[in-house]
Amino acid sequence: MLIISSGPALSLELTGITNSHDPSTLIRDQDTYFQFTTGNGVWFSRSTDLKHWDNPGTIFGAGWPSWISSAVPEFEGHFWAPDAIQMGDYFYVYYSVSTFGSSRSAIGVARTQSLKNPNWQDIGMVVQSHGGADEINAIDPALFRDHDGKVYMSYGSWFGGLGVAEINQTTGKLAGTVSHIYGGGHQSIEAPYITRQGDYYYLFFTRGLCCRGEDSTYEVQVARATSVFGPYTEERNLLPNQVENRKGPGHIGVLKEQGCNYVSTHYYDLNDNGAAKLDIQRMSFVDDWPSMSSDFSSANSCGGVSDGLYRLVSQHSGKPLEIQNAATDNGGNVVQYDFFGGLHQKWYVIRQDTSTYSLINANSLKSMDVWEGSHEPGANIAQWQYWGSEGQQWRINFDGNQVEIKSKLSDLVLDVNAKSQANSANIIQWTPNGGANQRWLMIRQY
């Protein structure tokens, strides 16, 4: 957890091993954050506070997966621009293999159940490009989980522009076709990243030339859309080419932690011969556009829950919420049951805006839903395909280390029916009364 003392404006000064180029989205496993970056073997470093980085390692040791030599024969072991995401019980790292100036490239993926104690399994190629001038170049993957629980990968560099496709969360591979979303015609555009705030999707990307140290011309721009597939419009500047000693920022990722947006990028340090280093800034939204700040004087919490995978455990019974019988169809009932590790007992908590969240079952990828949009106490809670109604939007109110989960639609809270402690007891909505059967522990799952 990031700890910053209150006081005057305070930037986040990183220490330790801060070298980084094309950093991944920062990702957390228990008490440790990881940043994966360009380097031999897919290089990474670790931090417990986002400030001091050390203890580096790599995903691959000597050599690389055999499929790479067929896809990109000139590859020599230097992996580019990885990104990381948690899906179910695994952490996935997507990485690029290519050679400079070529669109004969591929994106692969490896996974492990723990980042702190990894046992990496490479699961192969996700997408490739074959060297064509107008192809979407298969480098710079970036992963994003939408409000409905779906995961998308954007990618691309110069050549045919930027693309996006849905990811199958069981296989880690493409779940559908790739859609072109921006750029093309060999424009200087690469390193896309998509995030969502409210009704808008924001596409970040880098223009200019990288990898030239003090002479790099990189800068970050942003456009927005009301669909993940675009059209993205109203392009504007976000991070200029130079601020003080920081030159050529690039490759944005967004960590959503305790209601804050922590943005990772690299920059070339003019005070250190143009060495590429990790930078972390805060992002807020003003008039529906992102705004960046290096002021961390009040960053301990921005007033919210970290996006991630959770058990939602009743204080009253000690049992977590699950979908009964691991059902995957619309209408599957939400009940409490002894925890035994099933994915249907885990929920993605996904921030939608400054006050509401979607709760997506990790097994069915369907949303927690107030049955038939009822405003009445006693209405059932079930799962349904996410479609964005207020009956699928939830406010999470803290009381110490416990929370109350309140429907935006009805202003009623999740409640274990009849204060039961039995397995399969039904979950309903009810008038808030402060009872233990209306209070929940949110236990992060890694």
For residue 27, the one-letter residue type is I
Average pLDDT for residues 412-437, to the nearest whole number?
A: 99
Asked whether residue 146 carries a pLDDT value surpassing 70, the answer given is: yes
Q: Is the dihedral of CA 356, 361, 365, 367 positive or negative?
A: negative
Asked whether residue 323 carries a pLDDT value surpassing 50, the answer given is: yes
Tens digits of residue pLDDT in 32-61: 999 999 999 999 999 999 999 999 999 999
Torsions phi, psi of 66, nearest 5?
Answer: -65, -30
Contacts of 235 (CB under 8 A, 6+ apart): 221, 222, 223
Q: Looking at domain 308-444, does it have CATH number 2.80.10.50?
A: yes
Please give the pLDDT value at position 1.
57
Asked whether residue 130 carries a pLDDT value surpassing 90, the answer given is: yes
Structure tokens at 305: 């829950």
Average pLDDT for residues 416-438, to the nearest whole number?
A: 99
Please give the pLDDT value at position 6.
44
- Whole-number mean pLDDT of the chain? 96
Please give the pLDDT value at position 8.
46
Average pLDDT for residues 130-158, to the nearest whole number?
A: 98
How sure is the predictor about 5, in pLDDT bands with cuts at 50, 70 and 90?
very low
Structural domain boundaries of the chain? 15-293, 308-444
Please give the pLDDT value at position 7.
44
**Per the residue annotation, which of 29, 140, 166, 190 is the catalytic one?**
190
Q: Decide if 190 is catalytic.
A: yes
Average pLDDT for residues 140-146, to the nearest whole number?
A: 99
Helix, strand, coil shares of the chain as percentages rounded to 5? 5, 50, 45
pTM of the model: 0.96
Candidates 2.115.10.20, 3.10.20.30, 1.10.10.1590, 3.50.50.60; CATH matching 15-293: 2.115.10.20
Tens digits of residue pLDDT in 193-231: 999 999 999 999 999 999 999 999 999 999 999 999 999
What's the full length of the chain, in residues? Answer: 446
Lowest mean per-residue pLDDT among 285-289, 302-306, 373-377? 302-306
Tens digits of residue pLDDT in 252-300: 999 999 999 999 999 999 999 999 999 999 999 999 999 999 988 765 6
Please give the pLDDT value at position 303.
85
Average pLDDT for residues 120-149, to the nearest whole number?
A: 98
Q: Decide if 257 is catalytic.
A: no
Return contacts of 285-291, CB within 8 angstroms, 24+ apart.
285/197, 285/198, 288/197, 288/198, 288/200, 288/224, 289/222, 289/224, 289/236, 290/197, 290/202, 290/222, 290/238
